[in-house]
Amino acid sequence: MRIIYTGRDIKKQKAILAEHQDVIILLYDNWDDYSYKTSFPTECLLNGNNVDIGTIKILVEDKKTTFAYLDSLVAGGWDGMFPIPNTQYVSVPAALTFYEQLEGHLGLDAAIAAAQLLRDASYLTKLLDDNNALRLLNTDGFRHSLQRERGAIKAYLDGWKLFGQRSITIGNQTFTFRTPSGESTSIDLRFNSPTPLPHDINVLIGPNGVGKSQLLLQIVNNWLQLPPSGQDQFGFTERPNLNQLVVVSYSPFELFPVDTSEDLDRKDHDVYRYFGFRGRMKALTDSKRGSERVTLSRDFPKTNAARSLLACLEDDKKYGAIKEWSSKLRTMEGVLKLAFSFDRAAVAVDSNANVDCFFTTQELLTESYLEGEFSDEDFHSQSQLYVPIASDRVQELKVDELRKHVQDQLGVMFLKDGKPIHLSSGQRLFSYIVINILGAIRRNSLILVDEPELFLHPTLEITFIRMLKEILANYSSKALLATHSLVTVREIPRECVHVFEESNEGLKIKPPPFETFGGDVQRISSYVFGDKSLSKPYEDWLKKQLAQYGSAEQLISALGKNINEELIVQIHAMEAGQW
């Protein structure tokens, strides 16, 4: 494995790529991190194949512009081959996938060798206790440049675990937030536990207006803060070892950021993804120039899902060599078949497109696309050309060509026996949620879901939790849900259930006093929302009927067969004043 700096020398770059099978080339970037310039895009060949490993940041002691220092060494005769001679420096990749890709393609020893050449900060300080590296960690350059963005923070916090062959998981998190009344309080999110019960999902539950959704929004805003800080009054008390936040919210009233596109001070835009009914839509201004504004539309879930399905395909092609990588398309197919039966998911493409351009081979062409009638939710029919996106043809599909021609406004279709199937609105939204999460998710992500039960049938609520657990397990990720769903709470251990309760002393957050995992829904409801809150409307009716008929026996006789054993007991208890 060779690591070579070429900077802006295109001729040298091409010559090195032609000469080596395993090489990382560091290119030029003028990106400014608070007066520090340490970023280097890479071009990488592993076993002779182009592999995307991302950007690396390199901090040289007492230097603010690393590429200028390297250029001076090259001018003095250095060939650009790492390690940098007679220099104290440390590096941090923009994301841990930098080393995961090296390990996946060449093995762990190759990844460690690269870390040694680049003087990776996590490797040197957490495994070797290198004094020179430890000194550089206490500089403004490391804090403001190499640890400016969330992916680099994660790579520093957990990179040593990859080199040491240790499991990389998300730990427990404490978050301090502002309550609706303006007070400060903290919540302990329990993602790890010595008990065998599953701790992959935490839930926030309580009446409306107690601040559940506000907490999710504050987590997002703190996560997007630049530079990240754990010293503020509000926010994570320690730097969270997360790669990414993914928000799913299909309430028309939520106010989560739809993206980070307007934040020109950051490069790591993929550390945050949002999916809901809001998004950016082009609008003409008076100057006739295109501008983008955030708007509300039910078309966004469809469009996002089509793009996310192609993102799943792209990630499976790009990261398939990573150790323990879980195929996104295979995961999608597995979890959606829990909700409805289909053969393959597909996207619509331009009807006049040459279908040959979508495939690397002609072998599957005869059964890899079809023409047919498509009916959307509004039952508008039109002839359409589909291309199935499936786990059995990842290498045969061309992502870039599909993106050029995809009709993303039609969303994702599901094919059974060669024909599109009709889905209910709940099934369709469920499928979009699954595909969008998978398209965005990275290892060690935190998924925030606001009221998933809004558009899901109770049966799909359970399927949603089962789906979420499988996705989280496959990508070593966690989830935090704000919900009113009692059947969801029944799937979560009490330690992971955070009951929001307004009191005279302000907002209190506490776990239920009983185990909720596999518990009784009525008992959960009574504790969270107040005694017998679900039964109150029919109880009012029973009281009126009991007064009208004069006795329990008379009322029970009048109801005849339209009564169950529980009601008989309750009516007698009401008559005796014991209910």
**pLDDT value at 365 more than 80:** no
Average pLDDT over residues 323-331: 94
pLDDT in tens, 440-458: 999 999 999 999 988 788 8
Smallest CA-to-CA distance from 145 within 267, 26, 259, 238 is with: 267
Residue with tokens 């250029």: 71
pLDDT in tens, 278-315: 998 763 334 444 457 899 998 999 999 999 999 999 99
In angstroms, rounded to a whole number, what is the distance separating the alpha carbons of residues 418 and 334? 19
Average pLDDT over residues 134-152: 96
Q: Any idea where the domains of the chain sit in the sequence?
A: 2-163, 536-575
HEC secondary structure over 328-347: HHHHHHHHHCCCCCCCEEEE
Question: 89: which residues sit within 8 A by CB, 6+ positions away?
Answer: 58, 59, 60, 61, 66, 119, 136
Partners of 275 in the β-ladder: 248
Model pLDDT, residue 563: 86
The beta-carbon contacts of 71-79 under 8 Å, at least 24 apart in sequence, are 71/7, 74/5, 74/7, 79/4
Residue with tokens 């990630």: 315
**pLDDT value at 361 more than 80:** no
Q: Between these two residues, 507 and 381, which has the higher pLDDT value?
A: 507
Q: Between these two residues, 492 and 527, which has the higher pLDDT value?
A: 492
**Cβ neighbours, 10 Å, residue 556:** 16
**pLDDT value at 565 more than 70:** yes
Whole-angstrom CA distances from 169 to 141, 222, 432 are: 28, 21, 27
Model pLDDT, residue 195: 85
Indicate the pLDDT class of residue 534, thresholds 50, 70 and 90. Answer: very low
Partners of 280 in the β-ladder: 294
Instruction: Find the helix or strand (DSSP H, E) in which 56 lies.
Output: strand 56-60
Q: Go through 333-360 and write b for each residue having 16 or more CB atoms within 10 A of its CB, e for each that does not.
A: bebbeebbebbbbbbbbeeebebeebbe
How are beta strands 419-420 and 412-416 bridged, if at all? Answer: antiparallel
**447 close to 441: Cβ distance less than 8 angstroms:** yes
HEC secondary structure over 372-388: EEEECCCCCEEEEEEEE
Whole-prediction pTM:
0.88
Indicate the pLDDT class of residue 371, thresholds 50, 70 and 90. Answer: very low
Mean pLDDT of the chain: 90
Model pLDDT, residue 528: 81
**146 close to 121: Cβ distance less than 8 angstroms:** yes
Model pLDDT, residue 573: 84
Least confident of 7-16, 360-369, 371-380: 371-380
Q: Go through 503-530 and write b for each residue having 16 or more CB atoms within 10 A of its CB, e for each that does not.
A: eeeebebebbeeebbebeeeebbebbbe
Smallest CA-to-CA distance from 233 within 178, 171, 153, 173 is with: 178
For 486, the 3-state DSSP assignment is: helix
pLDDT in tens, 505-519: 889 999 999 999 998
**pLDDT value at 535 more than 90:** no
In angstroms, rounded to a whole number, what is the distance separating the alpha carbons of residues 460 and 427? 8
Average pLDDT over residues 150-171: 95
Indicate the pLDDT class of residue 146, thresholds 50, 70 and 90. Answer: very high
Model pLDDT, residue 536: 63
Helices (H) and strands (E) in the chain, counts: 19, 24
Paired tokens of 130 = 């290198």
pLDDT in tens, 407-439: 999 999 999 988 889 999 889 999 999 999 999
Torsion 68-73-77-82 (CA) sign? negative
In angstroms, rounded to a whole number, what is the distance separating the alpha carbons of residues 356 and 387? 11
In angstroms, rounded to a whole number, what is the distance separating the alpha carbons of residues 284 and 561? 65
Average pLDDT over residues 89-105: 97
